[in-house]
Every structure is written in structure tokens, then in C-alpha cells.
């Protein structure tokens, strides 16, 4: 076990720091800075140069160093969102040459923003039962139906979507992966308000919406498989320990700052006990993440632990929420919604958010199915809710 970065990587770290010192300060033009970051080989490392990436050999340690140093300097990294994180890898793997040319570069710069069109009102955990239909008519797909849980759809230019194009095929084989322009009369986007008052999600209605015949990734009926690689990427995205660590640190601050019965909460034995227990869980997550990284570095794959990340993290967020709720006592009576500068009651929001974590990206029950089937090798029983 060697928890230090080796000398080669430490000199790389120095190089990154120099670059940041020279090129980034608050107010720097972000697009220009990103272009320099690509040229230096720090951003879009796994993307070919011809599409605007820096095409570097895979090196998880360098990637982590870059992440650490950019975060320390508060410098912008890659554009966030479904386009860069989900569509681009898919196009690189499965897209036709013209699709790659047309979409990747502008997605990387943030010029094209993408919405994800997967979930439907009747298709949650059983995603493959989706019913939004696409029919090929006069050289274009005509699409009718509805998607839900579409994040930031109102700010997006395009959507990648799973659409049922082969209604007579078995359910997994009747789906195609289509790209489409959201700015057309056949599409109606309606925001969905969340229980915490936010409205990042949308419903998207398709009423004879259209997209060209060749805006399809993979062949007709292959959409389910095309999307599978995306789900894998998404699960990776959720693997880090940053969120849990931020939650723990906030809770610790809360316990230091707030009082219970006139005494600082942090001095109460049960608060200390709870915090130490949560600290242990946090460290367990951290080391698990380190083990996963090490194993990916060694080409062994993240393995068992990787499949547990999501559930461990959503359980953790719920445990933090519950502890905070006890600490803030009656401050939870005040809503943080529409409140520009909430005090401790901001934890009411986290209380709600921690539920979203348990629901989003596959419910906790789906995660348990995955652990039972893939990690423990228990016999499958057809399906699970």
C-alpha cells in the first residue's frame, strides 16, 4: 500500500499548478481558458483531438491530480451535463462519422446542450416498457408520446432519446436511440416543480415531433444496448466521495454552531457518538473509492464496491439528514424555500434532497437488485420493482 503519488506524478502536479497560475484567475474568459486547458492536455483527455479533445493516454492518477488542482484553484473543468458525460462517449463508441463531426466538438464547448429522454410516466424502474413511438414517414421520424424527469430541458438545444420504433418486436428490441432538435413546434416542454420547490425537471410532450431518418445512433431496435453503456457511465459519475464529505463537514459545522438546551450541540455525548459513527462511514466510503480507483488503474475494474456506491451514498445522505433534523430542532419549522438567506433551516432542503438521491437514477430497490444479482450472484427471479 502506498498512499503517496510517485515522483513523476508529483512533478506533473507542479506543472498543472504552474499552468493554472499562469492562465486562470477570476474573470478569465472561460471558453478561452478551456481551449488552453485542452491544448495543455488537461481537459477532455479521453477525446480525440479532431473533435476538440486532448487525446491523452488514460491515466487515472493524472486525472485525479488535475481534478484536485483545478478544484483548489477554483478553475473551470469540462462542461457539465448530459451532452459531455453521456452523449459524447456514446457517439464516440457507436456514432457514425458524420454524427461525431457534427455534434461532438460543439457539445464539448457547451454550444450544444443536450437533454436526456429516457423515463416516461409509465416506465420508471421498468424503463424498457417505454411507449413513446417513432414512425418513419417520408424520410423522417415522426414522434409521439411523452418523457418525464428530463433535467434542464428548457435550457437544452437537443435531446438524445429512447423511442419505440419497432412496436412489434420484443420490448427490449423495439427501441431506437434517436437524436432530435428540441426547438420545433411538435415539442412542448413543461417544468415539473419538485417537493423542495426547485424545478430542474421537465415533462416533454411529443406531438408529431420530427427528426431526420439518419439522426439515429446504432441501428433500428438497438437503442436499449446503446443506452446501456450510458447507464454504466452514469453510475461511474456518482462514485466519488465529495458529496458525502461535504455533507459530513456541514453537519459537523452545524453541530459546532448550534445549541441544544443552551449547550453547544457538539458537546452532547450522543451528538459526538453520532458524528463519529458518520465519520467512520465517510472514511469507509473514501477508502472504497480509493480501492476502486486503484483497481481501475490496475485494469481490474471497480468490482463489488462500485456497485454499492449509489446505495451507500443515498443511505448516507439520509442518515446525515436525520441527524441534522434532530440538531436544528424547531428551526425545521421555517421553510428555506423562497428564502434568499436561510439559516439552519437550509437543512430542511437537504432533508428533501436526500430523498431525491434515493429515488433518482434508479431507486434504492433497483440498487439492491443489482447487488443481489451481480455481486452476490443470487438467482434471478425475472424482475424486481
List the one residue from 96, 122, 270, 300 that touches its own copies (CB under 8 A). 270
Measure Cα distances from 243 to 3, 246, 285, 295 in Å: 22, 5, 11, 22
Distance, in Å, from the CA atom of 287 to the CA atom of 1, rounded to the nearest integer, reads 12
Q: Which helix (H) or strand (E) holds 133?
A: strand 133-137
Q: Which does 11 bind (CB under 5 to 8 A by kind): its own copies, another protein, none?
A: none
Q: Is 197 left (phi over 0), alpha (psi -120 to 50) or beta?
A: left
- Please work out the total of residues on this chain that contact its own copies, with binding judged by CB under 8 A: 4
Sign of CA dihedral 91, 95, 99, 100: positive
**Residue 7 near another protein by CB under 8 A:** no
**Residue 276 near its own copies by CB under 8 A:** no
Q: How many residues does the chain have?
A: 385
Within residues 290-329, the interface with another protein by CB under 8 A covers 290-291, 293-295, 297-298, 304-305, 308, 311-312, 315, 318, 325-326, 329
List the one residue from 3, 22, 97, 269 that touches its own copies (CB under 8 A). 269
What DSSP line would sit under 346-384, residue for residue?
A: HHHHHHHHHHHHHHTTS-HHHHHHHIIIIIS-PPP-S--
Q: Is 300 a catalytic residue?
A: no
**Residue 67 near another protein by CB under 8 A:** no
Task: List the catalytic residue out of 15, 234, 329, 331.
Answer: 234
**Residue 32 near its own copies by CB under 8 A:** no
Within residues 178-197, the interface with another protein by CB under 8 A covers 192-195, 197
**Residue 97 near another protein by CB under 8 A:** no
- Please work out the total of residues on this chain that contact another protein, with binding judged by CB under 8 A: 106
β partners of residue 216: 178
**Residue 202 near another protein by CB under 8 A:** no
Q: What is the 3-state secondary structure (H, E, C) of 264-312?
A: EHHHCHHHHHHHHHHHHHHHHHHHHHHHHHHHHHCCCCCHHHHHHHHHH
**Residue 273 near its own copies by CB under 8 A:** yes
Running DSSP on this structure, what letter comes out for residue 183? Answer: -
Q: Tell me if 344 sits within 8 A of 307, measured CB to CB.
A: no
List the one residue from 67, 142, 268, 372 that touches its own copies (CB under 8 A). 268
Question: Between residues 233 and 279, which has the closer beta carbon with respect to another protein?
Answer: 279
Question: Between residues 27 and 261, which has the closer beta carbon with respect to its own copies?
Answer: 261
List the one residue from 49, 188, 273, 301 that touches another protein (CB under 8 A). 273
* Active-site amino acid positions: 234
Task: List residues near its own copies by CB under 8 A.
Answer: 268-270, 273
Amino acid at each position: 500500500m502506498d498512499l503517496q503519488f510517485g515522483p513523476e506524478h508529483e512533478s506533473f502536479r507542479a506543472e498543472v499548478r504552474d499552468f493554472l497560475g499562469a492562465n486562470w484567475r477570476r474573470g478569465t474568459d472561460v471558453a478561452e481558458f478551456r481551449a488552453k486547458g485542452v491544448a495543455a492536455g488537461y481537459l477532455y483527455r479521453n477525446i480525440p483531438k479532431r473533435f476538440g479533445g486532448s487525446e491523452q493516454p488514460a491515466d487515472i492518477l493524472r486525472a485525479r491530480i488535475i481534478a484536485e488542482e483545478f478544484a483548489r484553484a477554483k478553475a473551470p473543468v469540462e462542461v457539465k451535463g448530459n451532452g459531455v458525460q453521456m452523449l459524447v462517449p456514446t457517439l464516440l463508441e457507436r456514432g457514425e462519422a458524420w454524427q461525431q463531426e457534427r455534434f461532438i466538438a460543439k457539445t464539448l464547448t457547451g454550444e450544444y446542450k443536450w437533454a436526456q429522454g429516457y423515463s416516461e410516466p409509465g416506465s420508471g424502474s421498468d424503463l424498457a416498457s417505454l411507449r413513446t413511438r417513432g414512425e418513419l414517414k417520408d424520410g423522417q421520424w415522426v414522434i409521439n408520446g411523452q418523457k418525464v424527469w428530463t433535467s434542464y430541458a428548457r435550457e437544452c438545444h437537443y435531446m438524445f432519446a429512447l423511442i419505440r420504433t419497432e412496436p412489434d418486436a420484443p420490448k427490449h428490441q423495439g427501441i431506437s436511440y434517436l437524436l432530435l432538435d428540441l426547438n420545433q413546434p411538435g415539442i412542448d416542454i413543461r417544468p415539473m416543480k419538485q417537493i423542495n420547490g426547485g424545478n430542474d425537471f421537465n415533462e416533454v410532450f411529443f406531438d408529431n415531433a420530427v427528426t431526420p431518418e439518419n439522426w439515429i445512433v446504432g441501428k433500428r431496435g438497438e437503442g436499449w444496448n446503446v443506452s446501456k453503456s450510458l447507464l454504466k457511465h452514469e453510475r461511474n459519475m456518482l462514485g466519488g466521495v465529495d458529496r458525502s464529505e461535504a455533507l459530513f463537514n456541514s453537519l459537523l459545522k452545524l453541530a459546532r454552531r448550534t445549541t441544544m438546551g443552551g449547550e453547544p450541540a457538539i458537546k452532547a455525548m450522543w451528538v459526538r457518538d453520532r458524528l463519529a459513527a458518520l465519520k467512520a462511514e465517510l472514511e469507509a466510503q473514501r477508502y472504497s473509492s480509493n480501492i476502486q480507483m486503484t483497481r481501475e488503474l490496475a485494469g481490474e475494474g471497480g468490482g463489488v464496491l462500485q456497485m454499492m456506491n449509489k446505495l451507500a451514498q443515498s443511505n448516507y445522505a439520509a442518515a446525515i439528514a436525520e441527524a441534522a433534523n434532530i440538531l436544528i430542532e424547531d428551526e425545521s419549522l421555517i421553510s428555506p424555500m423562497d428564502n434568499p438567506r436561510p439559516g439552519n433551516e437550509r437543512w430542511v432542503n437537504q432533508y428533501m434532497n436526500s430523498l431525491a438521491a434515493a429515488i433518482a437514477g434508479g431507486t434504492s430497490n433497483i440498487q439492491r437488485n443489482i447487488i443481489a444479482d451481480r455481486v452476490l450472484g443470487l438467482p434471478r427471479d425475472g424482475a424486481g420493482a
